[in-house]
Structure 1
Amino acid sequence: MTYAPASGRYAGMRYNRTGRSGLKLPAVSLGLWHNFGGNDRLENGRAMVRRAFDLGITHFDLANNYGPPPGSAEENFGRILKQDLSAYRDELILSTKAGYYMWEGPYGEWGSRKQVLSSLDQSLKRMGVDYVDIFYHHRPDPDTPLEETMGALDHAVRSGKALYVGISNYSAEQAREASRILKRLGTPCLIHQPSYSMFNRWIEDGLQEVLVEEGIGSIVFSPLAGGLLSDRYLNGVPSDSRAGGPSVFLNQDQITESRLAQIRDLNGLAQERGQSLAGMALAWTLRGGRVTSALIGASRVSQIEDNVKALDNLDFSEAELAAIDRILARKD
């Protein structure tokens, strides 16, 4: 049966302007880091992408190395796009990245012009598209001049292969310099993608101020701390959870008794707000309007539906924020 998206898909989603640009992103975006690769069931990924679009999620975030195996998430998304969403391409924001290890030899990772632009060409081919809406440099390169890497991003836009560019995992100082180089080149930095959650607040130590000053938006990944900020760990570590087996997101060392006590207390506060813990954690990252979008991962459709419900209650009282801070400040 031919897919037809929900007619009211834009009514329930919030869209936030990205920095000083004209682009608006959904407050919740879908990341295809895991559960969309060649080792996963394509029909499950297809169902998640379609349901996300039905809920007003227009932004789908990828990278050259997403899978596993690397590259397979882009390939699978390309299949889904062709089969279900090609008629709606102009309603979608597609992003990809270059910078982490992708192929053998000296040009298979980091930030040289050769690596960045070759990677973009490969990503476009895998997805079967002529351009992406946002192209990121995925991580700072300690050895390549920043001018070279930013020049490659500028070239991606001028060649028509990307509409906007961004950076990910850059420190406050690195982000400021990257922004200034891109402004001189005439291709402003649209967005920064850092990690951020209640358990990982590093962007509050200067980066958010830089982004505001430079007019750059932000889309945060791991807002649920790899799943810790959900109901999965209220009673310890399930054997089928991320922390219960090998995972790039979590390991059992992160789940101490004091951390579990924090999770349970945060869950109690979420229940008082009429939210799930995951919903409150997402709402917390979006509080105050400083974050443009929260980037979620999912392994099933119901998780996407539950996460979008967070948008029903984004407001926090001063007492609630103070209570969260007290819980997070507790030590062993």
Structure 2
Amino acid sequence: MDVHLPSPLLGGLSPRQFMKRHWQRKPLLVRGAIPGFRPLLGRAGLFALAAREEVESRVVEQQAGGQWTLRRGPFARRVLPPLSRAGWTLLVQGVDLHLDTAHELLQRFRFVPQARLDDLMISYATHGGGVGPHFDSYDVFLLQAQGRRRWRIGRQEDLSLQEGVPLKILAGFEPQEEHVLEPGDMLYLPPRHAHDGIAEGECQTYSIGFRAPQRSELARELLLRLADEDAGDAGEALYRDPGQSAVRAPGEIPPELRRFAQEALRAALKDPQALPRALGEYLSEPKPDVWFEPGAAPGARRSVRLDRRTRMLYDGRHLFINGESWHASGPDARLMRRLADERRLDGAELSRASEEALQLLAAWCEAGWAHEEPA
């Protein structure tokens, strides 16, 4: 992707301009972001997806009197509200993991680092359906796929939420702008920008969301990975205190044990690559409900593409794929980085790979992480 070229998806801005002017700064409304856009799934196909055990889905409904209800799937068709009932919404998460066309749509947004790109959610609603005024802690592109949705948005000062509601609905929403989106229109919103979308007739909206891990969550995950790596060391030290004397205050933590704990953290980080490696493995870890079907090794000089569920990243020293890491350098590293960026390698590119790299690709194909493309 040439990040300097103007893009209709971004209203004529280049990806570089969009990231500089709007990303995490201010909203952008794009009319005709994808001209002639149509839903990737019809109503029946979406309902069938929501009925599957491995698919995350929710139904949100506003009852008479303003009461909100939230139910979690999977949903057999018979338990969904009737189409004639107004005011309900079906949310289906991670559609890109289950539908090639949804995965391809998500690739249009790869001007943002893959480590930040999360998933594509489909929101289906009957007339008047919505999830209430709220804010997200991450960036989101709202692409209209079917029907019309009226969006009210605002830079909310008061982020307090209604009490006793199963959804995170703002208590005092104060919209500043209002836009009606039709198929192909798109609205970008930065984090914490309040919004409320109401369907005008039957409606589908696609949400392209981004990962924004909390600092405490990230620290916890990295420390767990570093600890697991250190635990594999046969020479791992155990706390010893042969010089410990009898104590009058047994509830006090011994200073020697505090020092041992500090040294344990220093030891976990003694390898300067330990933290980058743990970060890459964490960021490339598939979601818990993702699974792969075993495949076959590719034939000679055939093209290879990553499976739509595969997450592949890299840094200056490592390759990361689906939570695992490899040290990489030289021509093979450049080739694998291209695979991570483009998500495919053609036969000519593969002909330059070493035997070791080809064996690694074959293993990924056999695991279902990548696939040979048809000739």
Work out whether the TM-score is over 0.5: no
Q: Normalising by structure 2, report the TM-score.
A: 0.22
* Higher relative helix content: 1
Which has the higher Rg, Structure 1 or Structure 2? 2
Give the TM-score of the pair, scaled to structure 1: 0.24
